[in-house]
Structure formats: C-alpha cells, structure tokens
Homo-oligomer: A and B are copies of this chain.
Amino acid sequence: MVVIHHLPIHGFLGKHILHRELFFFPIVMAALWFGLKASLITAVSASIFYAQFFYHNIDSSRISIAVVGLQVTGFNLMALLTGWMVNRQRRQRRERDFLNETFGKYVSKAVRDEILGGRVTLNGELKEVTVLFSDLRDFTRLVETTPPREVVTIINTYFKSMTEAINAHHGLVLQFIGDEIEAVFGAPVALEHHQQWAVDAALEMRTRLSRVNLDLANQGFQPLQHGIGLHTGKVVAANIGSTQRLSYALVGETVNIASRIQELNKDFDSDILISAAVRQGLERCIEMHPLPPVPVKGILEPLNLFSINPTT
C-alpha cells in the first residue's frame, strides 16, 4: 500500500500540491481494509516519506515548515479518525453477529428471523400445524438417583440428537420442559405435508434413541426410553408473556391433545402414537395399527389413535 502510493510521486515532482492530497488516500484505504493499526502505520510511513521529500526539495518548494507540520498532523489525525471509526464499526458488527447467533440458539433461527422481521405478534396467528411431544420414561427416578451434572450430560446427549432429528425434518423445537420436548411442524413458517414430516421425524427419533443409548452405555449410563405423541390441528402461534419477558409459543386445544397423546404411550406400552388427523395427512404408507378409541376430558368425540409399528 505504502509502496503503491509512492510510485506516482516520482513522476510529477513539480506538482507538489496535487501529490500531497494523494497521501490521504492510502491512509484512508489502509483504515478501511485493515483497521486502526494499519492506518496509523501508513500515516507514520507517509509522514516520514513526506518529510524527507520536503527536506530534499527544500529549495524548489515554497512551503514553510509549519505547513509541512500541519500536513503531517493531518495525515495522522485522519489515520486516527478513520482507523478508530473502522475499528469501532468492526467491533459493533462482531457484537451484532454474535448476538444474532446466540439469540438464534435460544429461540431457534427460524423463530429469531420471524421475531426480528416483526412477523410474530402479541395477538397471535392461526395456523394448521402438527405438534410433537416427547417425554423420557422414568426420568424423575434418574434425577433422584444421579448427580445433577451427570443428569445434564445425559439429557444434553439426548436433546442434541432429538433436536437434530426434528430440525432435519423442518420441525422446530419450541421448548424443553424438564425431560420433555415440545416441537412443531408448520410454524412459524407454513410447511406442506407437515404431518408426514412430523411422522418421519418421530421415526428418526426412534432410530436415534438406540444410537444415543449406545453412546450412554459407553459412558456407563443406563439406556433411556421415550414416548412420542403427534396431533394435527389449528393453533394460535403467538408471543406469550409480557413486554419484559416473551416466549414464542402455541396456544390451543391441539397442543393439549398432543401432550395427552404422548402420555397415553404409557397406557398402550407404545413409543409413537399419532391421532387420526395426523394419519389423514400422510403421503406414504407407514405400518401402524389402530387402538381402541380413547375418551379425553373436555372433548366430545373420543380420540382415534394409531400406534406406529416398531421397525425391527
């Protein structure tokens, strides 16, 4: 950079005034590309070069020492100013990017983008979705008999794998509630065939659980068992809470029924239960068997449920 801006100087020794302006450009460019340090180094180099140049041409030049001093001060002030601005801007950009990424981890990238785009309202939006609940069996017992740090290790191994399965099928993890996962397919962004994606996610969660258990066995932990419940219907997706503390959440009967279906796994000794509404939306044939209708508190019609056969 310094070299480049010295080159033209030798060509027009006469037009001194013009060249003096050219000294500003490498300084500003160095600031823009490399930040404060580079701009200061360039400014000091330019100052030295400029002073030397002045010294050797003292006779032919009409400029006083005061002007040279001012010029040199100008170089360095400009370097300081632009360099400082560029550095501040870069730090703010880094902070913004870090915040953006961290926020995305805590509410999921999809929800973050909806929130920042102002598309999630306090009022809520009615959507047709498939809701997935999963829950670990005997987790309360595990918590009671295992040191809490190990519980965190076990649950994070499990949650990590399940989140990957859900994300891979365009699902969104809404919450971890103790050992429970609440996920949605079709919100915040509408999703075609959300029933199929949700069932495929549940099947992958089943496959992944055996891998998680192998991993846990290697670390000397007991294997885990879980139950998954799916239900399709209308929900309101909204910002729940207050302006001080918000949560992207789904509200509606569909959510409560999906949670209830998940619990029914215990009664039927199954691991994946889906409602008739989910089954109706499926695109592919999946082996399952119907269960006797289950009456659910607050709903007129009993629930028609299907248990998805093990893949063995």
Binding site for B on A (CB under 8 A): 15, 17-18, 21, 24, 28, 32, 63, 66-67, 70-71, 74, 78, 81-82, 85-86, 88-89, 92-93, 95-96, 98-100, 102-103, 105-108, 115-116, 122-124, 126, 140-141, 143-144, 148-149, 151-152, 155-156, 159-160, 163-164, 167, 173, 175-178, 234-236, 238, 240-249, 251-253, 255-256, 297-299
CA distance A81 to B89 in the complex (A): 14
CA distance A54 to B173 in the complex (A): 69
CB pair B244 A163 closer than 8 Å: yes
Q: Which residues of B contact A89 (CB under 8 A)?
A: 85, 88-89, 92
- 20 A-B pairs besides A18-B67, A21-B71, A122-B152 with CB distance below 8 A are A24-B74, A85-B89, A92-B92, A99-B116, A105-B244, A106-B247, A108-B244, A126-B149, A143-B251, A143-B253, A144-B253, A144-B256, A148-B235, A151-B251, A152-B238, A152-B240, A159-B240, A159-B242, A167-B245, A176-B240
Q: Which residues of B contact A159 (CB under 8 A)?
A: 240-242
A119 to chain B, nearest CB (A): 13
Chain B residue with the shortest CB-CB distance to A125: B149
Q: Which residues of B contact A108 (CB under 8 A)?
A: 244-245
The main secondary structure of chain A at its interface with chain B is helix
Chain B residue with the shortest CB-CB distance to A100: B99
Centre residue among A63, A67, A152, A173 by max chain B CB count within 10 A? A152
Q: Which residues of B contact A151 (CB under 8 A)?
A: 236, 251-252
Counting from the closest, the 3 A-B pairs by CB-CB distance are: A160-B242, A148-B236, A96-B96
Q: Which residues of B contact A255 (CB under 8 A)?
A: 178
CB pair B96 A124 closer than 8 Å: no
A236 to chain B, nearest CB (A): 4
CA distance A92 to B86 in the complex (A): 12
Given the known interface contacts A96-B92, A102-B116, the answer about A241 and B176 at a Cβ–Cβ threshold of 8 Å is yes
CA distance A232 to B172 in the complex (A): 33
Name the contact of A152 in the complex, choosing from B63, B99, B103, B251 (C-beta under 8 A).
B251
Given the known interface contacts A96-B95, A102-B115, A178-B255, the answer about A240 and B88 at a Cβ–Cβ threshold of 8 Å is no
CB pair A149 B241 closer than 8 Å: no
